[in-house]
Amino acid sequence: MQDIIDRFLSYVRIDTQSDPDSKTTPSTEKQWNLANELVYELKQIGMQDVTIDNNAYIMATLPSNIDKKVPTIGFISHFDTSPDYSGTDVNPQIIRDYDGGDIVLNVAQKIVLSPFYFDDLLQYKGQTLITTDGTTLLGADDKAGITEIITAMEYLINHPEIKHGTIRVGFTPDEEIGRGAHKFDVEKFGAKWAYTMDGSQIGELEYENFNAAGAKVTILGRSVHPGYAKGKMVNALSIANEFISILPPEETPQNTSGREGFFHLHHMKGEIEHAEFELIIRDHDSEHFEKRKQLLRDIVEKLNKDHGACISMDLNDQYYNMREKVEPVLHIVEIAKEAMERVGIVPIIKPIRGGTDGSQLSFMGLPCPNIFAGGHNFHGKYEYIPVESMQKAVEVIVKICELVGAKGH
């Protein structure tokens, strides 16, 4: 346990926040700080063929230790953290033997992590939790996944009696801004399939995710003195409000769950002469996804007719539901499910209400289900992770490697 804690804390204390407004890869220079540390560590534990390219994509190999030929498989995590909340000067707190009550994250600011709001905490009574100090995110998304993969590889290197085929590991930048797989070299990686260690609570196993798109809407208005504005003023802010009011109010993130899709307004700014806002569009069902995008186009057309061609929209797909690519090779999910069961975990198979590098990689020719990394409340000050969940994730990785080595498929 202490080795996992020490490794994890060393990663989260390095700021790796990504930047959606940057055009470089990685999107922030500071991501190189952890990337270079990971390269060094992979070499130190005995991994082979350790590489880092000009965009900070890291790959390494654990060679096979069996005579028969079995598929090369991979494990992937990302080292950037979300731009939604500060990742600077992360100061983790360790709560040993959690008693099931409130955890005061920050006395001065009266920030409390409470099971009253976050009832998942009660699953971990008696365990060791790592939390924030209430001023930053933690970074378990996805430095927990990196911790688990490297710890599992180190364990396999130190226990050659566990037989396995060739294992590839990959660590990516910029997943949190949707670019984690954009420059991932699938051919170089050379695995038949892989698993992202990027899920949340213990037991999660996912091979479905949202279809995703993003829309940026720009409205050009005309400012006239309000006393003389009749028939002349075009108020961009009012038109933006009208646009948003046409969207179904019940189809937002806070009103949906499971496989229900949504529209999410996440940025808005403007004045009378210029307004703009950004939406994300999400749906597990591809037909519903297309209808959502068409609704936006229809709104633009209607309002342009009403207000004089003042609206433009940039609408782009971001990623798709990996189920289409994983279902034909569903045995890779069954292997992960069996691995969990073998180490005493009840698998929780459910769709991801989001996306991972795996969704894009699956469409790039690398089928890639997602496995829990153990953290909760990502992207904010209430983020936490039970150390025991990270331990179990390590066991799952090791068992998957063992099962593939034994089954040969």
Are residues 274 and 348 both part of a single domain? no
The average confidence (pLDDT) of the chain is 96
Same domain, 74 and 193: yes
Residues 312 and 326 reside in one and the same domain: no
Give the CATH number of the domain where residue 219 resides: 3.30.70.360
Question: Among the three residues 285, 319, 353, which one is the final residue of a domain in this structure?
Answer: 319
* The token pair that represents 146 in the structure block: 């990196």
Measured CA to CA, the distance from residue 63 to residue 166 in angstroms comes to: 5
Residue 362: band (very low, low, confident or very high) from pLDDT cuts 50, 70, 90:
very high
Name the catalytic one among 175, 204, 251, 395: 175
To the nearest 5 percent, what fractions of the chain are helix, strand and coil? 35, 25, 40
CA-CA distance, 2 to 283, in Å (whole number)? 41
Of the candidates 19, 41, 80, 174, the residue annotated as catalytic is 80
Pairing between β-strand 211-220 and β-strand 193-199 as defined by DSSP bridges = unpaired
Last residue of a domain, one of 258, 285, 319: 319
Q: What is the pLDDT of residue 26?
A: 97
Give the domain extent around 191: 2-208+321-407
C-alpha distances in Å from residue 179, one per residue of 117, 176, 216, 300: 32, 7, 18, 28
Q: Are 156 and 286 in the same domain? A: no
Q: Is the pLDDT of residue 355 over 80?
A: no
Q: How many domains does the chain have?
A: 2
pLDDT at 408 over 80: no
What would the mean pLDDT of 197-203 be, rounded to a whole number? Answer: 95
What proportion of the chain, given as a percentage, has pLDDT over 70?
A: 100
Query: Which of 319, 342, 369 finishes a domain?
Result: 319
Is 341 one of the catalytic residues?
Answer: no
In this structure, are 167 and 249 located in the same domain? no
Q: What is the DSSP letter of 81?
A: B
Q: What is the pLDDT of residue 103?
A: 97
CA distance 359 to 207: 8
- Ranges of beta strands (E only) in 114-226 are 129-131, 167-172, 193-199, 204-206, 211-220
pLDDT at 133 over 70: yes
CA distance 242 to 299: 10
> Which pLDDT belongs to residue 175?
93
Q: Is 67 in the active site?
A: no
- Residue 379's pLDDT is what? 92
Q: Which amino acid is at 216?
A: K
Same domain, 204 and 215: no
pLDDT at 409: 66
Q: What is the CATH number of the domain that holds 154?
A: 3.40.630.10
> Do residue 117 and residue 263 come from a single domain?
no
Return the higher-pLDDT residue of 407 and 261.
Answer: 261
Within this chain, do residues 192 and 87 fall inside the same structural domain, yes or no? yes
DSSP summary character for residue 256: -
In this structure, the chain runs to a length of 409
Q: Mark whether 91 and 48 lie in a shared domain.
A: yes
Among the listed ranges 34-48, 124-138, 326-340, 352-366, which one has the minimum average pLDDT value? 352-366
Q: Domain check: are 49 and 178 in the same one?
A: yes
Q: Are residues 201 and 272 in the same domain?
A: no
**pLDDT digits over 370-379, tens only?**
999 999 999 9
